A and B are shown apart, each in its own frame.
Chain A
C-alpha cells in the first residue's frame, strides 16, 4: 500500500491537482492555494464529520431516553455515588480542548513550533483523561459498584464507556496529526485533518459535559 499513487501517498503528499478545466464544485474553503479540487475534499470532509456527529448524537440520545424511561419506571433506582475524580477528568478534558484551540490559532499565524507544542499537550491531556476514566472505573469496582449493581450504575458504565470508545477514536486522530506535525509533514492538505479532529474532539468534550450533567442531576 505504500506505492506512489496509493492512498498513503495521497494522505502524506496531498491529492494530485485536478485537470485545469471544469473542476469539482469550484473554489472555496480550506487553507492553501493549490487547486480548486481540494475545496471539494475539504467540504466533503466537514460534511462527513457532521454526519458522523449526528449519528453519535442519536446513539447518546437513545441511551438517554432509555435512561429516562428506566429511571421513571421502577422504584429500584439508587443514585450511584460519583467518584470525585470525574470532576478532575472533566477539567482535563476541557484543558485539552483549550490546548487544541491554542494550537490551531498558532498554526493560523504560522507558528509551527507553537502548534506542535500545544497540539501535543492536547493529545497528552486526552490520553490523561482516558487514564483518569479507567481510574474512576477502578475505584467504582473497588467499592463494589459494578455495571449490574443498580440501573444507575448500569447507565453510568454504558454512557462513560461509549464516550470513552469515541474518545479513543478521537485520540487516535489527534495522535496521527501529532506525528505528522513532528515529522514536519503537515502540508496545507492536512489542515482539514487538523480541523476535523479538533472539531470531533470539541464535540466529545461537549458530550462529556452533557453526560456529567446527566449523571449528577438524573443519575
Chain B
C-alpha cells in the first residue's frame, strides 16, 4: 500500500499527473462527478426514447433506423430494442450515476476535507478505483455496439431470461455477457473505494474530530461505504456464477426441462432462478440505500447551514443512519414477495421492511425540526435540499404499501413500483446531487454558480418530476404492468393512455430544462464570479481553506477541531456560526 500523502512539499507536475492519473482526491472526485454527469445524460436520453415509444409504439422515426438498422428497421423501435434501452437506462442510472456521484464524487472530494485530512488513506487505490469505474462504463456502453445489441433482461437480469444466451432475445448474447463483465469490474472499483472511505474516516480524522463531531455527510459516506463493501462482494459472486451458467454450462440458476424458442435445453439442470434473486437482492437492497444515504447527509448538512440552526437531533440522525445501514441488509426479500419463495419468510421480511421505515421517518421529522425556528435563506442549494425532503416523503410513503406482501399481491411489477423507486432514487437522490453541486461548486472551482438560473431550473425540475412520477402511482393502481414496450395489447390499459401521454410530455419538458443546469454549470466554470472562502457561512472544515483548495488541502497545517459541526446561531456568539476549528473559548454546547 502506498503512503497516505504525496509529499507535503511537492505538488504533482505535468498534465497527466495533475488531471488524468491524479492521486489527489479532489481531482478524482471531480473525475467521478463528470463521469456521473455524462452517464445521467446518457441514461436520461434512453428514458426519453422509452417514453416516446410507450405512447407512439408504431411510430417510424428515420434516425432510429440509422442508429439501429436491425433493431429499428424501417424506423420503428422493436420491442427488444425498447427492452434493451430500458435495461441500460436502469443499469447506467443505478450504477454509474447514483452509486458514483453522491459517494465517489462528492465523498471523495469532501470527506478528507471535512475530517481535516490531507488526502484519502490510499491515493493510488483511489486513482485506480476511478479508472476501473471508467473501464466498467466503457464495457457497459460497448454492449450497445455488439451483435444483438444491449441485453433486454432489465437491470435485475433474472435468469433464465439472462442465463441461456441468445435464445431468449438478441441482446442476450454478447450484450448480456458484456453487461455482466462491466458489473463485475464495477464491483471491484466499488470495493476499492469502500476501503479508502472506511480507512480514511476511521484513521485520518484530525485532532478533535471525534466521530460524534463529524458532519452528517461523513457519517453517510461511512455507512454507504460499508454497505458497498459488503453488498458488492455478493453481487460479484452472483455475476460470476451467472456468467459461468452462460458460458461453460454450469447450472447454478438454470433448471432442467426447459424449452426455449422451440429448442429443448439439454445442457442445464437443477439450478434455481430464485437463488439469483436472493443473491442479487441481498446486494440490491443495500444498493438503494447507497444511492440515497449520501443525499440524506447532504440534506441534513444544507438544511442546518441555510436555516442557521443546528441539526435537530444529531445523535438520533446518526443512529438512524446506522440503523438504515444495518436493517438495509435484512430486507432484501421484499423484492421477492411474489417470487415463489417461502411465504413465511415474506412475513419476516415485511416486518423488517416496516422497521426500516422508522429511521427514515425519524430523519424526515428531524429535517422539519431543523427548519422549525430557523432563519431560512433560499439559495439554490437549499431549494434542492428542501425539494429533497418533499420528494423523499412522497417516494418513501409509497413504500409502506409495497412493504406489505398482502398489498404487493396487486402492486408487484406494476407502475406503482416504478413510481416509488423513481421518486426516491430518480428524483430525491438526484436532488441531493444538485444540492451538493450548488453548495460545493464554489469550493471545488473557485467560482459561484448563477442563482437566478439555478432557481428557474429548480422550480421547473421540481414540478416536472412530480408530473412525471406521481401519475405512475395512479396507473399502477389501475393495474398497469411494468416493462411493457407497448400498451395496446391489454384492453384495460387503453383508458390510461392520456396519463402516459401526460407523463411523456412532462418528461420532455423536464429533460429540456436540464439544459439550464448544464449552461449554469459550464458557464460558471468559465465565467462565474470569483468565490470567497466561505460563501455560505458554513461551519465545516472545507470552508476554512481557499476556494479551490491547494493540492495538500490544509497547506501543511493540521486542523484542530473544537466544536461540533452545526453550531449556528449560538446565543452570545459574535457571529451566527462557529467554525469547527474556532478556538474553544467561543461558546457552544459541545
Q: Which residues of A are interface residues toward B (Cβ below 8 A)?
A: 5-7, 9-11, 14-16, 18-19, 21-26, 40-41, 43-45, 47-48, 51-52, 54-56, 58-59, 61-63, 65-66, 69-70, 73-77, 146-148, 151, 154, 158, 162, 189, 192-193, 196
Contacts and interface: CB of A to CB of B under 8 A. Distances in A.
B1 A48 contact: yes
A154 B244 contact: yes
Given A26-B207, A62-B234, A154 B195 contact: no
A59 B204 CA distance: 28
Contacts of B575: none
A47 B7 contact: no
Contacts of B267: 148
13 contacts: A15-B3, A22-B557, A45-B1, A47-B199, A48-B121, A55-B232, A56-B233, A58-B229, A65-B278, A66-B275, A74-B270, A75-B270, A151-B250
Given A7-B124, A66-B275, 17 more contacts: A24-B118, A43-B202, A44-B121, A44-B199, A44-B202, A44-B204, A45-B121, A55-B229, A55-B230, A56-B233, A59-B234, A62-B238, A73-B275, A148-B249, A151-B271, A193-B1, A196-B1
B169 interface: no
B191 A148 contact: no
A161 B241 CA distance: 12
A10 B6 contact: yes
Contacts of A76: 269-270
Interface of A is mostly: helix
Nearest to A38: B3
Given A5-B10, A76-B269, A148-B250, A25 B205 contact: yes
B404 interface: no
Interface residues of B, number: 60
A51 B195 contact: yes
A10 B279 CA distance: 41
Contacts of B9: 5, 16
Return the 9 tightest CB-CB contacts between A and B, nearest first.
A22-B558, A62-B237, A74-B270, A148-B249, A58-B233, A15-B3, A5-B10, A10-B3, A44-B121
A158 B556 CA distance: 48
Interface in B219-269: 229-230, 232-234, 236-238, 240-241, 244, 248-252, 267, 269
B272 interface: yes
Contacts of B191: 52, 55
B2 interface: yes
A192 B204 contact: no
Contacts of B232: 55
B35 to A, nearest CB: 23
Nearest to A77: B270
B198 A51 contact: yes
Contact of B252 (A18, A61, A154): A154
B244 A15 contact: no
Contact of A25 (B6, B203, B271, B272): B203
Residue among A23, A40, A65 with most chain B CB within 10 A: A40
Nearest to B234: A62
Contacts of B198: 47-48, 51
B560 interface: yes
Contacts of A9: 7
A151 B229 CA distance: 28
A7 B128 CA distance: 14
B122 interface: yes
Contacts of B236: 59
Contacts of B557: 19, 21-22
Interface string B203-219: 11111000000000000
Contact of A54 (B121, B207, B229): B229
B187 to A, nearest CB: 9
B362 interface: no
Contacts of B279: 62, 65-66
Interface string B3-38: 111111110000000000001000000000000000
A5 B17 CA distance: 12
B507 interface: no
A189 B204 CA distance: 18
